[in-house]
Structure 1
């Protein structure tokens, strides 16, 4: 399984279109973790599983998505409704309730990945307004039966190798 994860694009439709053109036929799913600030009929979000963030006004975007991809249960949310800037505890409890294998979220604009009780949590950072580092980022997650690898890339599609996480 290979998944593109992006978040917090804040109206920048061009970058979503570029990511789609680059990855659409190379990944099993394209996920946007909210704060696109685009309408549901914008061509830039076509093909993305997309959730509603705190800066989104589009009512057609759900707050949470549970999606199955290649036998993995994925929970996608923006994060603001789970207070992720304080702790991942609320998000972890919801992930357990949904029986999620993977959790993708945004909101904080802080890039990172970690495993909690066997569930992998990924925040791709922000593709337009990063916090904590200068690079604008997105993530590619690849998983097989044994290993889950999360790679982070900057807006020029160069991997930020020091951020790569591998979970067994």
Structure 2
């Protein structure tokens, strides 16, 4: 089983990023930050995270707009989402993720925690650990890939599992 911690929209938080890394580092294969960290590219708090640039990352102008990572046998496309107008539609994001060969798209920007599948593509927004929208909990997600199953489990910042958001998808 391969696992990734996914966080987004931390907007200047530092201790929380370290706490999440320390909490999960022993059993994660990949750490992902989907942008709007508002930290510099060499910030120690982001060490170990694959980090992309969000629309509020003025200190981190050197972050890439996108990243492509493998988790087990699954290709993951990582972006913030603002360049694809994800608040309006997921279509542009889906097209770009498909172009890269990904079957999973991780993004942030809207601060809305969700995981869903459309036409074979799994979309994951971990929400925000600073300013959540749509719920009170500050959230992050853990992605697990094992054989034909892809599981996304959401947690509050204090580590409590959020069952109603968590999902498992069967892949071909």
Correspondence 1:159 to 2:161? yes
SS of residue matched to 1:20: helix
Contact 2:108 2:125 in 1 (8 A): yes
Unaligned runs of 5+ in 1: none
Partner of 1:44: 45
CA distance in structure 1 between the aligned counterparts of 2:70 and 2:143, rounded to whole angstroms: 14
Partner of 1:2: 3
- TM-score after normalising by structure 2: 0.95
The count of corresponding residues between Structure 1 and Structure 2 is 168
Aligned-CA RMSD value: 0.8
> Pairwise mapping of residues 105-144 of structure 1 onto structure 2 (< 5 A)?
105-144=107-146
CA distance in structure 2 between the aligned counterparts of 1:156 and 1:69, rounded to whole angstroms: 25
Task: Say which of 62, 75, 78 aligns to 2:77.
Answer: 75
Partner of 2:148: 146
Partner of 1:92: 94
Contact 2:3 2:71 in 1 (8 A): no
Partner of 2:56: 55
Correspondence 1:14 to 2:15? yes
Contact 2:74 2:145 in 1 (8 A): no
Q: Cα deviation per residue 1:29-61 (whole Å; 9 max; x = unaligned)?
A: 000000000011111000000000000021221
Unaligned runs of 5+ in 2: none
- TM-score after normalising by structure 1: 0.98
SS of residue matched to 2:161: coil
Deviation at 1:89, TM superposition (A): 0.6
Deviation at 1:118, TM superposition (A): 1.3
Q: Cα deviation per residue 1:127-161 (whole Å; 9 max; x = unaligned)?
A: 11000111000000111111111110001100011
CA distance in structure 1 between the aligned counterparts of 2:123 and 2:165, rounded to whole angstroms: 14
